[in-house]
């Protein structure tokens, strides 16, 4: 079997306690997770379970207290600033909130060109690449000269996807990328992420509290509870034959607790995701 693109093994992360006498508290207690090239690994769990912290550890945004993170065969959990800069070409991120993740005073063209110019592309090359990126995410070419406030949440998330794709990453950490969007817009953004994966071969770590969304996009799903992975398997195994009681609870919890309402909600998701592009 080929090596995974990213391997997280025995990952432990601690945060300082509040106040100088408070002890550190560990929030990840030895997490294992493997992401294959070109595939989507869904990470699902309740609020505060540690999903975002795993993504942040992969991106080098929180210190790693134990275990290892390996990307393309190389350890990256102790990467210095130079290795991190190089890694940012390979590992990108899309955040939940499309309203705060874009610089409000920069045109979309400048936002998308920034990482390209940092890679020493000429202005002409960057402009043509930006036009291509806008086309890839189905935004009009004149979006280049406009500001983020002129776009809807779904369009802004498309811009965030274009920015993440700009320099051809091999892995994107998608942290709740559709949670702030309405159901119909969620679907078009999820479709776009899948289309992008088909054409570029990028892998995703797809973080969400919503098993229905995770199931729709993922090849493999891991379920995290209180800083520990309690279950991992194919998306179908985990969502249709959950082994761990916590996974079953996650399936049945969700915003509406009443089982009948749940069935209605699941049916709505099924219809929402089953049809063709509207
Ligand atoms: N910078 C920090 N300092 C202290 N504690 C933190 C910090 N970041 C996260 N935590 C704690 O770590 C735990 C895991 O947080 P994390 O944000 O990873 O959870 P999550 O699963 O992404 O939750 P949510 O779905 O609510 O975003 C929580 O108890 C949180 O309070």
108-136 confidence digits (pLDDT tens): 999 999 999 988 889 999 999 999 999 99
- Segments of the chain scoring below 50 in pLDDT: 256-257, 275-278
Q: How far apart are CA 30 and CA 21, in angstroms?
A: 25
pTM above 0.80, yes or no: yes
Residue-wise pLDDT for 129-172, tens only, equals 999 999 999 999 999 999 999 999 889 999 999 999 998 999 99
Nearest protein Cα to ligand 1, atom 7 = 15
Q: Report how far ligand 1's centroid is from the alpha carbon of 48 (Å).
A: 5
ipTM of the complex, rounded to two decimals: 0.97
> Ligand 1 test: best mutation among 24, 49, 61, most atoms within 8 Å of CB?
49
Q: How far apart are CA 134 and CA 143, in angstroms?
A: 8
Pocket of ligand 1, beta carbon within 6 A: 15, 27, 45, 47-53, 209
For residues 28 and 64, the answer to whether their CB atoms sit within 8 Å is no
Give the CATH architecture of domain 6-274.
Answer: 3-Layer(aba) Sandwich (3.40)
Nearest protein Cα to ligand 1, atom 12 = 27
């Amino acid at each position: 079997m080929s090596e995974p693109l990213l391997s997280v093994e025995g990952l432990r992360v601690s945060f300082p306690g509040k106040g100088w006498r408070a002890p550190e508290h560990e929030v990840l207690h030895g997490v294992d997770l493997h992401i294959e090239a070109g595939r989507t690994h869904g990470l699902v769990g309740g609020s505060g379970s540690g999903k975002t912290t795993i993504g942040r550890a992969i991106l080098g945004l929180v210190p790693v207290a134990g275990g290892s993170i390996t990307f393309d065969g190389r350890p990256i959990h102790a990467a210095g600033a130079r290795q991190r800069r190089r890694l940012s070409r390979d590992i990108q991120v899309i955040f939940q909130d499309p309203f705060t993740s874009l610089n409000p005073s920069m045109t979309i063209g400048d936002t998308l060109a920034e990482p390209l110019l940092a890679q020493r592309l000429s202005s002409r090359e960057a402009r043509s690449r930006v036009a291509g990126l806008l086309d890839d995410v189905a935004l009009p070419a004149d979006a280049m000269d406009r500001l983020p406030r002129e776009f809807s949440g779904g369009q802004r998330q498309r811009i965030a996807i274009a920015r993440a794709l700009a320099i051809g990453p091999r892995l994107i950490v998608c942290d709740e990328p559709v949670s702030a969007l309405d159901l119909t817009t969620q679907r078009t953004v999820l479709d776009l992420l899948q289309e992008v994966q088909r054409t570029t071969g990028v892998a995703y770590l797809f973080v969400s509290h919503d098993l229905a969304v995770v199931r729709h996009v993922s090849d493999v799903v891991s379920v995290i509870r209180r800083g520990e992975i309690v279950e991992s398997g194919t998306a179908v195994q985990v969502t249709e034959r959950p082994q761990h009681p916590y996974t079953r609870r996650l399936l049945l919890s969700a915003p509406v607790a009443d089982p009948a309402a749940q069935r209605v909600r699941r049916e709505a998701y099924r219809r929402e995701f089953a049809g063709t592009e509207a």
